[in-house]
Structure 1
Amino acid sequence: MIFVTVGTQLSFDRMIQAVDEWAATSDEEVVAQIGPSGLKPLHLKYQQFLTPDEFTAYMDQARAIIAHAGMGSILTALQLQKPIVILPRQAALNEHRNDHQLATAGRFRETRGIHVAMDETELLAVLQNLNTLSASDGVGPYASAALITTIRDFIEGRSV
């Protein structure tokens, strides 16, 4: 099963439409959380919103995740060692208030297990190769000791 999530604040119809188009030609079961959208996908099971328990269950069951470039979805996929395909929302397309998701996507472009698509064409190309996508090696639930020390030094005015 492939799980798709757009987060909870805004709809992301551009991504859902592209995934729905791909799902029409795929044998994969696709389940999507589509947010506050009027869109009615034809080729995937969907709900606007999920409870935290439902979200966790779908993330656990999925063999791959497709998501906006939200940190919650990315970190959860990394922790679960699931491949994640991200498509960042764009402020110019009225999908978000600013372009922080473009920055997030750029930062994670070379990270194992995170597969970045910058537009629908790239998304469809990545999805055509879904069976070959690598997963992450996992991340721990806490920051590394080195990061904590660096932050502590910065806060306390020591050179970083």
Structure 2
Amino acid sequence: MSTVFITVGSTGFDSLVEACTTMSFLNGLEQLGYKQLVIQYGSSEPIYTRNMSNNNDNNEDKNNKRILKVKGYAYKPSITEDMENASLVISHAGAGSILQALRIPKPLIVVNNIYLMDNHQQELSQAMQGKGYCICSTPR
């Protein structure tokens, strides 16, 4: 199954969870042929729950049933299996998550959290992109 796995790491990343649970993002994944989205949302659970509830309310039409299956969780001991099962990994710019995705290896989009101290994630993700290991992005 063609799966996208998104991880926010050990805390939360509200703007990433917000962006990846919009109808336009989900529709875009469907148009690209993905069948499943798995989101490790950490402490951003309220945003995930709200948006997924709103999406389900807006997708009540039985003739317009969503093809993309979405599931999420806050934390688990290891995300290795989720990364291994994914066709694409979208990750916060934490060094551990980046290295884990690259070791598997999986195509990787790294999303910077500009609100973290010194914006250190941007420096790391841009350096990794410069070496061709990933694509660097922002939640927008």
Shorter-chain TM-score above 0.5: yes
CA distance in 2, matches of 1:84, 1:111: 13
Alpha-carbon distance change, 106 to 47 in structure 1, aligned in 2, over 3 angstroms: same
Q: TM-score, normalised by structure 1?
A: 0.64
Alpha-carbon distance change, 112 to 98 in structure 1, aligned in 2, over 3 angstroms: same
Q: Secondary structure at the match of 2:43?
A: coil
Q: TM-score, normalised by structure 2?
A: 0.73
Which residues of 2 match residues 1-150 of structure 1 at below 5 A? 1-8=3-10, 10-21=11-22, 22-27=25-30, 28=34, 29-37=36-44, 38-39=46-47, 40=49, 41-42=51-52, 44-52=70-78, 55-91=79-115, 96-120=116-140
Deviation at 1:86, TM superposition (A): 0.8
Q: Larger radius of gyration, structure 1 or 2? A: 1
Q: Tell me, yes or no, if the aligned pair for 1:82 and 1:113 is still in contact at 8 Å.
A: no
RMSD across aligned C-alpha pairs, in angstroms? Answer: 1.6
Alpha-carbon distance change, 76 to 14 in structure 1, aligned in 2, over 3 angstroms: same
Runs of 5+ unmatched residues, structure 2: 56-69
Alpha-carbon distance change, 25 to 106 in structure 1, aligned in 2, over 3 angstroms: closer
Sequence identity (%): 26
Greater strand percent: which structure? 2
Amino acid at match of 1:82: K
Deviation at 1:71, TM superposition (A): 0.8
Deviation at 1:119, TM superposition (A): 4.4
Paired residues, what number? Answer: 113
